[in-house]
Structure 1
Amino acid sequence: MNLLFKPAKTLGASLLLASAFMAQPVLANGPIGEHVNHLQANLKSYAEEVEWMVGKVDTMVSDYDKKGAKAVKTDDLIEYWESVKFHSAIETNYVPVYASIWQGIYGVKMAIENGKPAAEVRKEQEAMNIALWQGLGAVKLAAKFQQKGLLESVKATATEEMTQSATIDEIKHKLDRVVAKFAERLQDEATNIVHDTYLHLFEGVEGTLIEQDANLVEVLEKDFNVTLPQAIKNGKSVDDVRNVVSDMQTKLDRAKTLIEKAEKSRKDVF
Protein backbone atom coordinates (compact mmCIF):
# COMPACT_ATOMS: atom_id res chain seq x y z
CA MET A 1 0.00 0.00 0.00
CA ASN A 2 1.74 3.14 -1.18
CA LEU A 3 0.27 6.17 0.55
CA LEU A 4 1.84 9.58 0.08
CA PHE A 5 1.70 12.34 2.68
CA LYS A 6 -0.36 15.26 1.48
CA PRO A 7 0.58 18.51 3.27
CA ALA A 8 -2.11 20.84 4.53
CA LYS A 9 -3.38 22.90 1.62
CA THR A 10 -4.81 25.76 3.60
CA LEU A 11 -3.24 28.33 5.86
CA GLY A 12 -5.98 27.66 8.38
CA ALA A 13 -4.97 24.02 8.77
CA SER A 14 -1.32 24.99 9.22
CA LEU A 15 -2.16 27.62 11.82
CA LEU A 16 -4.30 25.12 13.73
CA LEU A 17 -1.37 22.72 14.05
CA ALA A 18 1.03 25.57 14.78
CA SER A 19 -1.10 26.80 17.66
CA ALA A 20 -1.14 23.28 19.10
CA PHE A 21 2.66 23.07 19.03
CA MET A 22 3.19 26.45 20.67
CA ALA A 23 0.39 26.14 23.23
CA GLN A 24 1.58 23.01 24.96
CA PRO A 25 4.76 22.64 27.02
CA VAL A 26 7.16 20.15 25.47
CA LEU A 27 7.49 17.40 28.03
CA ALA A 28 8.18 13.70 27.88
CA ASN A 29 8.49 10.73 30.19
CA GLY A 30 10.85 7.85 29.56
CA PRO A 31 13.81 7.70 27.15
CA ILE A 32 13.16 9.77 24.06
CA GLY A 33 16.49 10.68 22.48
CA GLU A 34 18.13 14.01 21.73
CA HIS A 35 16.93 13.75 18.11
CA VAL A 36 13.61 15.32 19.13
CA ASN A 37 15.46 18.60 19.63
CA HIS A 38 16.82 18.38 16.06
CA LEU A 39 13.72 17.51 14.05
CA GLN A 40 14.81 19.01 10.73
CA ALA A 41 18.00 16.95 10.66
CA ASN A 42 15.99 13.78 11.24
CA LEU A 43 13.04 14.28 8.88
CA LYS A 44 14.47 11.94 6.24
CA SER A 45 14.93 9.25 8.88
CA TYR A 46 11.40 9.77 10.21
CA ALA A 47 9.93 9.48 6.70
CA GLU A 48 11.86 6.27 6.09
CA GLU A 49 10.59 4.88 9.39
CA VAL A 50 6.99 5.65 8.46
CA GLU A 51 7.49 3.91 5.11
CA TRP A 52 9.05 0.95 6.92
CA MET A 53 6.19 0.79 9.44
CA VAL A 54 3.56 0.94 6.70
CA GLY A 55 5.37 -1.81 4.81
CA LYS A 56 5.77 -4.10 7.81
CA VAL A 57 2.10 -3.85 8.73
CA ASP A 58 1.07 -4.37 5.11
CA THR A 59 3.16 -7.56 5.00
CA MET A 60 1.55 -8.79 8.21
CA VAL A 61 -1.97 -8.15 6.93
CA SER A 62 -1.14 -9.87 3.63
CA ASP A 63 0.19 -12.91 5.51
CA TYR A 64 -2.96 -12.96 7.61
CA ASP A 65 -5.09 -12.80 4.46
CA LYS A 66 -3.23 -15.67 2.79
CA LYS A 67 -2.22 -17.90 5.71
CA GLY A 68 -4.45 -17.02 8.65
CA ALA A 69 -3.87 -15.69 12.17
CA LYS A 70 -1.40 -18.42 13.13
CA ALA A 71 1.02 -17.10 10.51
CA VAL A 72 1.43 -13.71 12.20
CA LYS A 73 2.48 -12.35 15.60
CA THR A 74 0.34 -9.33 16.40
CA ASP A 75 2.60 -8.29 19.28
CA ASP A 76 5.14 -7.40 16.61
CA LEU A 77 2.96 -4.40 15.75
CA ILE A 78 3.80 -2.83 19.11
CA GLU A 79 7.48 -3.66 18.75
CA TYR A 80 7.59 -2.11 15.28
CA TRP A 81 6.14 1.17 16.53
CA GLU A 82 8.21 1.39 19.69
CA SER A 83 11.43 0.67 17.80
CA VAL A 84 11.31 3.77 15.57
CA LYS A 85 12.59 7.23 16.53
CA PHE A 86 9.53 8.80 14.91
CA HIS A 87 7.57 7.40 17.86
CA SER A 88 9.22 9.96 20.18
CA ALA A 89 9.14 12.76 17.63
CA ILE A 90 5.35 12.71 17.36
CA GLU A 91 4.79 11.95 21.06
CA THR A 92 6.67 15.08 22.13
CA ASN A 93 5.15 17.37 19.51
CA TYR A 94 1.54 16.44 18.82
CA VAL A 95 -0.01 14.03 21.31
CA PRO A 96 -3.49 13.87 19.72
CA VAL A 97 -2.10 12.26 16.54
CA TYR A 98 0.18 10.08 18.66
CA ALA A 99 -2.92 8.65 20.34
CA SER A 100 -4.58 8.12 16.95
CA ILE A 101 -1.58 6.12 15.76
CA TRP A 102 -1.83 3.85 18.78
CA GLN A 103 -5.55 3.50 18.19
CA GLY A 104 -4.85 2.47 14.60
CA ILE A 105 -2.21 -0.05 15.63
CA TYR A 106 -4.54 -1.66 18.13
CA GLY A 107 -7.33 -1.59 15.56
CA VAL A 108 -5.24 -3.83 13.30
CA LYS A 109 -4.08 -5.97 16.22
CA MET A 110 -7.55 -6.63 17.62
CA ALA A 111 -9.10 -7.20 14.19
CA ILE A 112 -6.58 -9.97 13.51
CA GLU A 113 -6.86 -11.48 16.98
CA ASN A 114 -10.66 -11.50 16.70
CA GLY A 115 -10.51 -13.27 13.35
CA LYS A 116 -12.10 -10.47 11.34
CA PRO A 117 -12.19 -10.73 7.53
CA ALA A 118 -9.10 -9.38 5.79
CA ALA A 119 -11.16 -6.57 4.29
CA GLU A 120 -12.00 -5.29 7.78
CA VAL A 121 -8.37 -5.56 8.85
CA ARG A 122 -7.43 -3.51 5.80
CA LYS A 123 -9.80 -0.76 6.93
CA GLU A 124 -8.05 -0.61 10.29
CA GLN A 125 -4.71 -0.63 8.50
CA GLU A 126 -5.78 2.30 6.34
CA ALA A 127 -6.79 4.30 9.43
CA MET A 128 -3.40 3.58 10.98
CA ASN A 129 -1.58 4.63 7.81
CA ILE A 130 -3.50 7.90 7.65
CA ALA A 131 -2.58 8.65 11.26
CA LEU A 132 1.09 7.87 10.58
CA TRP A 133 1.25 10.23 7.61
CA GLN A 134 -0.62 12.91 9.52
CA GLY A 135 1.93 12.49 12.28
CA LEU A 136 4.80 12.93 9.85
CA GLY A 137 3.17 16.08 8.53
CA ALA A 138 2.82 17.41 12.06
CA VAL A 139 6.48 16.72 12.80
CA LYS A 140 7.53 18.45 9.57
CA LEU A 141 5.59 21.53 10.61
CA ALA A 142 7.04 21.34 14.12
CA ALA A 143 10.53 21.20 12.59
CA LYS A 144 9.91 24.52 10.84
CA PHE A 145 8.85 26.17 14.07
CA GLN A 146 11.75 24.60 15.92
CA GLN A 147 14.21 26.06 13.42
CA LYS A 148 12.69 29.49 14.00
CA GLY A 149 13.17 29.10 17.73
CA LEU A 150 9.45 28.89 18.41
CA LEU A 151 9.55 25.51 20.17
CA GLU A 152 11.16 24.87 23.52
CA SER A 153 13.66 22.06 23.94
CA VAL A 154 12.19 18.85 25.29
CA LYS A 155 12.60 18.67 29.05
CA ALA A 156 11.59 16.17 31.70
CA THR A 157 9.54 18.33 34.05
CA ALA A 158 7.67 21.60 34.12
CA THR A 159 9.42 24.67 35.46
CA GLU A 160 8.81 25.56 39.10
CA GLU A 161 8.36 29.18 38.01
CA MET A 162 5.33 28.35 35.85
CA THR A 163 2.53 30.88 36.12
CA GLN A 164 -0.95 29.68 37.01
CA SER A 165 -2.23 30.33 33.48
CA ALA A 166 0.71 28.33 32.10
CA THR A 167 -0.16 25.60 34.60
CA ILE A 168 -3.58 25.30 32.95
CA ASP A 169 -1.84 24.73 29.60
CA GLU A 170 0.28 22.04 31.23
CA ILE A 171 -2.82 20.38 32.70
CA LYS A 172 -4.41 20.26 29.24
CA HIS A 173 -1.24 18.72 27.83
CA LYS A 174 -1.22 16.09 30.57
CA LEU A 175 -4.81 15.21 29.71
CA ASP A 176 -3.76 14.69 26.09
CA ARG A 177 -1.18 12.25 27.40
CA VAL A 178 -3.91 10.44 29.34
CA VAL A 179 -5.66 9.76 26.02
CA ALA A 180 -2.37 8.63 24.47
CA LYS A 181 -1.58 6.20 27.28
CA PHE A 182 -5.13 4.86 27.28
CA ALA A 183 -4.80 4.26 23.53
CA GLU A 184 -1.63 2.28 24.30
CA ARG A 185 -3.72 0.09 26.65
CA LEU A 186 -1.73 1.44 29.61
CA GLN A 187 -4.75 2.06 31.82
CA ASP A 188 -2.83 2.22 35.09
CA GLU A 189 -0.38 4.75 33.69
CA ALA A 190 -3.24 6.83 32.28
CA THR A 191 -4.96 6.83 35.67
CA ASN A 192 -1.72 7.78 37.44
CA ILE A 193 -1.31 10.77 35.12
CA VAL A 194 -4.86 11.88 35.99
CA HIS A 195 -4.19 11.64 39.72
CA ASP A 196 -0.75 13.28 39.55
CA THR A 197 -2.10 16.10 37.40
CA TYR A 198 -4.84 16.78 39.90
CA LEU A 199 -2.56 16.65 42.95
CA HIS A 200 0.49 18.45 41.60
CA LEU A 201 -1.01 20.89 39.11
CA PHE A 202 -4.74 21.48 39.48
CA GLU A 203 -4.66 21.87 43.25
CA GLY A 204 -2.07 24.59 42.76
CA VAL A 205 -4.57 26.78 40.92
CA GLU A 206 -7.69 25.83 42.88
CA GLY A 207 -7.38 28.66 45.37
CA THR A 208 -7.33 31.37 42.72
CA LEU A 209 -10.01 29.65 40.66
CA ILE A 210 -12.41 29.19 43.59
CA GLU A 211 -12.39 32.95 44.06
CA GLN A 212 -13.45 33.36 40.44
CA ASP A 213 -15.88 30.45 39.91
CA ALA A 214 -16.40 27.94 42.71
CA ASN A 215 -18.88 25.90 40.67
CA LEU A 216 -16.32 25.41 37.90
CA VAL A 217 -13.84 24.08 40.45
CA GLU A 218 -16.43 21.64 41.79
CA VAL A 219 -17.21 20.33 38.30
CA LEU A 220 -13.53 19.90 37.42
CA GLU A 221 -12.86 18.13 40.71
CA LYS A 222 -15.55 15.61 39.80
CA ASP A 223 -14.06 15.20 36.33
CA PHE A 224 -10.58 14.53 37.74
CA ASN A 225 -11.67 12.23 40.53
CA VAL A 226 -14.75 10.47 39.16
CA THR A 227 -15.68 10.94 35.50
CA LEU A 228 -12.30 10.47 33.81
CA PRO A 229 -10.95 7.71 36.10
CA GLN A 230 -14.20 5.76 35.69
CA ALA A 231 -14.09 6.11 31.90
CA ILE A 232 -10.58 4.63 31.98
CA LYS A 233 -11.40 1.91 34.52
CA ASN A 234 -14.60 0.80 32.79
CA GLY A 235 -12.81 0.15 29.51
CA LYS A 236 -14.57 2.80 27.46
CA SER A 237 -13.41 3.33 23.88
CA VAL A 238 -10.57 5.73 23.08
CA ASP A 239 -13.12 8.09 21.55
CA ASP A 240 -15.18 8.05 24.77
CA VAL A 241 -12.13 8.91 26.88
CA ARG A 242 -11.09 11.55 24.36
CA ASN A 243 -14.57 13.11 24.61
CA VAL A 244 -14.30 13.31 28.41
CA VAL A 245 -10.88 14.95 28.08
CA SER A 246 -12.12 17.36 25.41
CA ASP A 247 -14.97 18.44 27.69
CA MET A 248 -12.51 18.97 30.55
CA GLN A 249 -10.20 21.00 28.33
CA THR A 250 -13.08 23.27 27.36
CA LYS A 251 -13.71 23.91 31.05
CA LEU A 252 -10.00 24.48 31.58
CA ASP A 253 -10.03 27.11 28.82
CA ARG A 254 -12.67 28.91 30.85
CA ALA A 255 -10.52 28.48 33.96
CA LYS A 256 -7.49 29.93 32.18
CA THR A 257 -9.45 33.01 31.13
CA LEU A 258 -10.54 33.60 34.72
CA ILE A 259 -7.03 33.06 36.09
CA GLU A 260 -5.48 35.41 33.54
CA LYS A 261 -7.92 38.11 34.63
CA ALA A 262 -6.97 37.47 38.25
CA GLU A 263 -3.26 37.62 37.41
CA LYS A 264 -3.75 40.89 35.55
CA SER A 265 -5.67 42.36 38.47
CA ARG A 266 -2.84 41.50 40.86
CA LYS A 267 -0.29 43.13 38.54
CA ASP A 268 -2.42 46.25 38.28
CA VAL A 269 -2.61 46.50 42.08
CA PHE A 270 1.14 46.29 42.47
Structure 2
Amino acid sequence: MIFNRIKRQHWINLLGAAVLFSASATFANGPVGEHVNHLSDNIENYTEEVNWLNTKVEEMIIRYLNGGVEEAKPEQLVEYWEEVKFHSAIETNYVPVYASIWQGLFGIKGAIEDKAPIEEVRKQQLFLQQSLWQALGAVKLAAQYQDKGLTDHVTITQANPTNSLETLDAIKNRLDRVVAKYAEKLPKEAVSLVHDIYLNLFEGVEGELISLDANLVEDMEKDFNVVLPQAIAKADNIDQVRDVVNTMKGKIDDAHSLLSQSAEKRKDVF
Protein backbone atom coordinates (compact mmCIF):
# COMPACT_ATOMS: atom_id res chain seq x y z
CA MET A 1 0.00 0.00 0.00
CA ILE A 2 2.75 2.44 0.95
CA PHE A 3 4.64 1.61 -2.25
CA ASN A 4 1.53 2.22 -4.35
CA ARG A 5 0.95 5.60 -2.73
CA ILE A 6 4.56 6.60 -3.32
CA LYS A 7 4.39 5.43 -6.93
CA ARG A 8 1.10 7.25 -7.50
CA GLN A 9 2.49 10.46 -5.98
CA HIS A 10 5.58 10.14 -8.21
CA TRP A 11 3.41 10.14 -11.33
CA ILE A 12 1.26 12.95 -9.98
CA ASN A 13 4.43 15.00 -9.60
CA LEU A 14 5.45 14.13 -13.15
CA LEU A 15 2.01 15.03 -14.43
CA GLY A 16 2.18 18.43 -12.81
CA ALA A 17 5.63 19.01 -14.22
CA ALA A 18 4.67 17.89 -17.69
CA VAL A 19 2.16 20.69 -18.15
CA LEU A 20 4.82 23.31 -17.37
CA PHE A 21 5.81 23.58 -21.01
CA SER A 22 8.31 26.41 -20.75
CA ALA A 23 8.92 28.76 -23.65
CA SER A 24 12.52 29.70 -24.20
CA ALA A 25 13.93 29.37 -27.69
CA THR A 26 17.62 28.84 -26.89
CA PHE A 27 18.96 26.20 -24.54
CA ALA A 28 22.30 24.78 -23.43
CA ASN A 29 22.81 22.88 -26.67
CA GLY A 30 21.70 25.70 -28.96
CA PRO A 31 18.34 26.55 -30.57
CA VAL A 32 15.51 24.23 -29.62
CA GLY A 33 14.35 21.95 -32.44
CA GLU A 34 10.87 21.94 -33.93
CA HIS A 35 10.54 18.34 -32.75
CA VAL A 36 9.55 19.59 -29.27
CA ASN A 37 6.28 20.80 -30.80
CA HIS A 38 5.55 17.26 -32.05
CA LEU A 39 6.49 15.13 -29.06
CA SER A 40 4.29 12.12 -29.88
CA ASP A 41 5.94 11.76 -33.27
CA ASN A 42 9.33 11.59 -31.61
CA ILE A 43 8.76 9.39 -28.53
CA GLU A 44 10.22 6.33 -30.27
CA ASN A 45 13.31 8.33 -31.24
CA TYR A 46 13.67 9.73 -27.71
CA THR A 47 13.46 6.19 -26.31
CA GLU A 48 16.17 5.02 -28.70
CA GLU A 49 18.33 7.95 -27.65
CA VAL A 50 17.96 7.13 -23.95
CA ASN A 51 18.97 3.53 -24.67
CA TRP A 52 21.88 4.78 -26.78
CA LEU A 53 23.06 7.08 -23.98
CA ASN A 54 22.90 4.28 -21.42
CA THR A 55 24.84 2.02 -23.77
CA LYS A 56 27.55 4.66 -24.32
CA VAL A 57 27.88 5.14 -20.56
CA GLU A 58 28.21 1.38 -20.02
CA GLU A 59 30.86 1.16 -22.74
CA MET A 60 32.76 4.00 -21.09
CA ILE A 61 32.70 2.26 -17.72
CA ILE A 62 33.95 -0.97 -19.27
CA ARG A 63 36.81 0.98 -20.86
CA TYR A 64 37.55 2.48 -17.44
CA LEU A 65 37.71 -0.99 -15.91
CA ASN A 66 40.02 -2.29 -18.63
CA GLY A 67 42.24 0.69 -19.33
CA GLY A 68 41.73 3.42 -16.76
CA VAL A 69 40.84 7.08 -17.14
CA GLU A 70 42.67 7.73 -20.41
CA GLU A 71 40.99 4.81 -22.11
CA ALA A 72 37.54 5.73 -20.75
CA LYS A 73 37.52 9.29 -22.21
CA PRO A 74 34.97 10.66 -19.67
CA GLU A 75 34.96 14.09 -21.35
CA GLN A 76 32.79 12.54 -24.09
CA LEU A 77 29.81 12.20 -21.73
CA VAL A 78 28.64 15.78 -22.16
CA GLU A 79 29.09 15.51 -25.93
CA TYR A 80 26.84 12.45 -25.98
CA TRP A 81 24.10 14.24 -24.03
CA GLU A 82 24.18 17.40 -26.10
CA GLU A 83 24.10 15.37 -29.32
CA VAL A 84 20.64 13.87 -28.80
CA LYS A 85 17.32 15.57 -29.52
CA PHE A 86 15.98 14.31 -26.19
CA HIS A 87 18.19 16.95 -24.58
CA SER A 88 15.90 19.83 -25.58
CA ALA A 89 12.73 17.74 -25.20
CA ILE A 90 13.35 17.31 -21.49
CA GLU A 91 14.71 20.83 -20.97
CA THR A 92 11.47 22.30 -22.30
CA ASN A 93 9.23 20.00 -20.25
CA TYR A 94 10.73 19.02 -16.92
CA VAL A 95 13.59 21.19 -15.71
CA PRO A 96 14.07 19.58 -12.25
CA VAL A 97 15.01 16.19 -13.71
CA TYR A 98 16.99 17.95 -16.45
CA ALA A 99 19.25 19.21 -13.67
CA SER A 100 19.45 15.68 -12.24
CA ILE A 101 20.64 14.36 -15.60
CA TRP A 102 23.49 16.86 -15.61
CA GLN A 103 24.26 15.88 -12.02
CA GLY A 104 24.47 12.24 -13.10
CA LEU A 105 26.68 13.03 -16.10
CA PHE A 106 29.16 15.00 -14.04
CA GLY A 107 28.91 12.44 -11.25
CA ILE A 108 30.15 9.71 -13.59
CA LYS A 109 32.70 11.99 -15.22
CA GLY A 110 34.08 13.13 -11.87
CA ALA A 111 34.19 9.62 -10.42
CA ILE A 112 36.17 8.31 -13.40
CA GLU A 113 38.52 11.30 -13.47
CA ASP A 114 39.16 10.87 -9.73
CA LYS A 115 39.89 7.17 -10.30
CA ALA A 116 37.09 6.23 -7.90
CA PRO A 117 36.27 2.60 -7.09
CA ILE A 118 33.95 0.94 -9.58
CA GLU A 119 31.21 0.81 -6.93
CA GLU A 120 31.09 4.63 -6.86
CA VAL A 121 31.05 4.85 -10.65
CA ARG A 122 28.18 2.34 -10.79
CA LYS A 123 26.30 4.35 -8.15
CA GLN A 124 26.52 7.46 -10.32
CA GLN A 125 25.54 5.42 -13.38
CA LEU A 126 22.38 4.16 -11.64
CA PHE A 127 21.43 7.72 -10.68
CA LEU A 128 21.82 8.86 -14.28
CA GLN A 129 19.79 5.93 -15.63
CA GLN A 130 16.95 6.64 -13.19
CA SER A 131 16.98 10.33 -14.15
CA LEU A 132 16.88 9.56 -17.87
CA TRP A 133 13.94 7.16 -17.58
CA GLN A 134 12.10 9.56 -15.28
CA ALA A 135 12.66 12.28 -17.87
CA LEU A 136 11.32 10.09 -20.65
CA GLY A 137 8.19 9.45 -18.58
CA ALA A 138 7.68 13.19 -18.15
CA VAL A 139 8.05 13.80 -21.88
CA LYS A 140 5.53 11.04 -22.66
CA LEU A 141 3.02 12.71 -20.34
CA ALA A 142 3.74 16.08 -21.93
CA ALA A 143 3.11 14.50 -25.34
CA GLN A 144 -0.35 13.38 -24.22
CA TYR A 145 -1.19 16.88 -23.05
CA GLN A 146 0.24 18.39 -26.21
CA ASP A 147 -1.93 16.09 -28.35
CA LYS A 148 -5.00 17.29 -26.45
CA GLY A 149 -4.04 20.93 -26.94
CA LEU A 150 -3.44 21.45 -23.23
CA THR A 151 0.13 22.72 -23.58
CA ASP A 152 1.55 25.57 -25.60
CA HIS A 153 4.04 25.26 -28.40
CA VAL A 154 7.55 26.49 -27.71
CA THR A 155 7.74 30.09 -28.83
CA ILE A 156 10.49 32.60 -29.49
CA THR A 157 10.18 34.42 -26.18
CA GLN A 158 9.01 33.48 -22.74
CA ALA A 159 5.39 34.32 -22.07
CA ASN A 160 5.03 37.11 -19.54
CA PRO A 161 2.88 36.37 -16.48
CA THR A 162 -0.39 38.30 -16.49
CA ASN A 163 -0.90 38.56 -12.72
CA SER A 164 0.91 38.19 -9.41
CA LEU A 165 -0.01 34.54 -8.88
CA GLU A 166 1.28 33.61 -12.35
CA THR A 167 4.44 35.57 -11.60
CA LEU A 168 5.12 33.51 -8.48
CA ASP A 169 4.57 30.31 -10.45
CA ALA A 170 7.02 31.58 -13.09
CA ILE A 171 9.59 32.34 -10.39
CA LYS A 172 9.44 28.76 -9.11
CA ASN A 173 9.82 27.36 -12.60
CA ARG A 174 12.82 29.56 -13.38
CA LEU A 175 14.47 28.74 -10.07
CA ASP A 176 14.59 25.16 -11.36
CA ARG A 177 16.56 26.53 -14.30
CA VAL A 178 19.03 28.06 -11.85
CA VAL A 179 19.67 24.57 -10.46
CA ALA A 180 20.02 23.26 -14.00
CA LYS A 181 22.61 25.90 -14.91
CA TYR A 182 24.59 25.03 -11.79
CA ALA A 183 24.39 21.36 -12.76
CA GLU A 184 25.75 22.27 -16.20
CA LYS A 185 28.80 23.81 -14.51
CA LEU A 186 27.68 27.30 -15.54
CA PRO A 187 27.69 29.18 -12.19
CA LYS A 188 27.95 32.66 -13.74
CA GLU A 189 24.88 31.99 -15.89
CA ALA A 190 23.07 30.62 -12.83
CA VAL A 191 23.76 33.77 -10.80
CA SER A 192 22.80 35.97 -13.76
CA LEU A 193 19.50 34.09 -13.98
CA VAL A 194 18.88 34.65 -10.26
CA HIS A 195 19.35 38.40 -10.70
CA ASP A 196 17.07 38.37 -13.74
CA ILE A 197 14.33 36.55 -11.80
CA TYR A 198 14.58 39.08 -9.00
CA LEU A 199 14.59 42.20 -11.18
CA ASN A 200 12.04 41.15 -13.80
CA LEU A 201 9.66 39.00 -11.76
CA PHE A 202 9.92 39.29 -7.99
CA GLU A 203 10.16 43.08 -7.90
CA GLY A 204 6.84 43.15 -9.73
CA VAL A 205 5.01 41.45 -6.85
CA GLU A 206 6.95 42.55 -3.77
CA GLY A 207 4.98 45.79 -3.44
CA GLU A 208 1.75 43.85 -3.15
CA LEU A 209 3.34 41.35 -0.77
CA ILE A 210 4.84 43.96 1.57
CA SER A 211 1.39 45.02 2.69
CA LEU A 212 0.62 41.39 3.58
CA ASP A 213 3.92 40.23 5.13
CA ALA A 214 6.85 42.63 5.07
CA ASN A 215 9.12 40.20 6.92
CA LEU A 216 8.54 37.51 4.29
CA VAL A 217 9.42 39.95 1.52
CA GLU A 218 12.61 41.00 3.32
CA ASP A 219 13.56 37.36 3.81
CA MET A 220 12.98 36.56 0.13
CA GLU A 221 14.98 39.61 -0.98
CA LYS A 222 17.91 38.29 1.05
CA ASP A 223 17.51 34.87 -0.57
CA PHE A 224 17.64 36.31 -4.09
CA ASN A 225 20.47 38.76 -3.49
CA VAL A 226 22.66 36.99 -0.94
CA VAL A 227 21.78 33.43 0.05
CA LEU A 228 21.29 31.80 -3.36
CA PRO A 229 24.15 33.60 -5.17
CA GLN A 230 26.50 32.68 -2.32
CA ALA A 231 25.32 29.07 -2.39
CA ILE A 232 26.05 28.90 -6.12
CA ALA A 233 29.52 30.33 -5.54
CA LYS A 234 30.46 28.20 -2.53
CA ALA A 235 28.47 24.95 -2.78
CA ASP A 236 30.37 21.69 -3.09
CA ASN A 237 27.55 19.91 -4.90
CA ILE A 238 24.19 20.45 -6.56
CA ASP A 239 22.23 19.20 -3.56
CA GLN A 240 23.31 22.22 -1.53
CA VAL A 241 22.04 24.60 -4.21
CA ARG A 242 18.84 22.60 -4.63
CA ASP A 243 18.21 22.77 -0.86
CA VAL A 244 18.39 26.58 -0.96
CA VAL A 245 16.05 26.69 -3.95
CA ASN A 246 13.58 24.33 -2.27
CA THR A 247 13.55 26.55 0.81
CA MET A 248 12.88 29.56 -1.42
CA LYS A 249 10.05 27.70 -3.14
CA GLY A 250 8.44 27.12 0.25
CA LYS A 251 8.47 30.86 0.88
CA ILE A 252 7.04 31.48 -2.59
CA ASP A 253 4.22 29.06 -1.75
CA ASP A 254 3.57 31.09 1.41
CA ALA A 255 3.46 34.26 -0.70
CA HIS A 256 1.11 32.56 -3.15
CA SER A 257 -1.27 31.68 -0.30
CA LEU A 258 -1.21 35.25 1.01
CA LEU A 259 -2.03 36.70 -2.39
CA SER A 260 -4.78 34.14 -2.99
CA GLN A 261 -6.38 34.87 0.36
CA SER A 262 -6.15 38.61 -0.30
CA ALA A 263 -7.85 38.18 -3.68
CA GLU A 264 -10.68 36.16 -2.10
CA LYS A 265 -11.25 38.84 0.53
CA ARG A 266 -11.52 41.49 -2.18
CA LYS A 267 -14.11 39.37 -3.96
CA ASP A 268 -16.15 39.14 -0.76
CA VAL A 269 -16.09 42.91 -0.37
CA PHE A 270 -17.53 43.44 -3.85
Q: What TM-score, normalized to structure 1? A: 0.91
**Corresponding residue for 1:184?**
184
State which of 3, 19, 25 in structure 1 corresponds to 2:16.
19
In the other structure, the counterpart of 1:60 is 60
Deviation at 1:17, TM superposition (A): 1.6
1:11-55: CA deviation from partner (whole Å, max 9, x where unpaired): 443222212233x45123511111111111100000000011011
- CA offsets, 1:149-185, max 9 Å, x none? 2212223433346211001000000100001111111
Q: How does 1:81-100 map to 2 (within 5 A)?
A: 81-100=81-100
Task: Using the TM superposition, give the Cα deviation of residue 147 of structure 1 relative to its aligned residue in structure 2, in angstroms.
Answer: 1.3
2:251 alignment partner in structure 1:
251
Whether the 8 Å contact between 1:105 and 1:128 is mirrored in structure 2 is yes
Q: Distance in 2 between matches of 1:160 and 1:9?
A: 35
The answer (yes or no) to whether the contact 2:32–2:88 under 8 Å persists in 1 is: yes
The answer (yes or no) to whether the contact 1:25–1:170 under 8 Å persists in 2 is no
Work out the CA distance in 1 between the residues paired with 2:138 and 2:161.
Answer: 29
Match of 1:214 in 2: 214
Structure 2 matches for 1:110-189, cutoff 5 A? 110-160=110-160, 162-189=162-189
Counterparts of 2:236 and 2:224 in 1: how far apart (Å)? Answer: 16
Number of aligned residue pairs: give it: 262
Secondary structure of the corresponding residue to residue 68 of structure 1: helix
- The one of 23, 28, 34 equivalent to 2:24 is 28
Structure 1: gaps spanning 5 or more residues: 1-7
With over 3 angstroms needed to count, the CA separation of the structure-2 counterparts of 1:25 and 1:223, relative to structure 1, is farther
Change (3 A) 1:112 1:10: closer
RMSD of aligned C-alpha atoms?
A: 1.9
User: Counterpart in 2 of 1:238?
Assistant: 238
SS of 1:206's partner is helix
**How has the CA–CA distance of structure 1 residues 29 and 268 changed in structure 2, closer, same or farther, with 3 Å as cutoff?**
farther
- Amino acid in the other structure paired with 1:16: N
- Once the 2 structures are TM-superposed, how far is the Cα of residue 130 of structure 1 from its aligned partner? 1.2
Alignment-mate amino acid for residue 202 of structure 1: F
Greater shift in the superposed pair: 95-104 or 117-126: 117-126
Once the two structures are aligned, what percentage of the paired residues are identical? 53
Aligned equivalents of 1:208, 1:62: Cα separation in 2: 57
Cα deviation for residue 83 of structure 1 reads 0.8
Q: TM-score, normalised by structure 2?
A: 0.91
Secondary structure of the 2:239 match is helix
Q: Distance in 2 between matches of 1:161 and 1:132?
A: 30
* Residue identity matched to 1:176: D
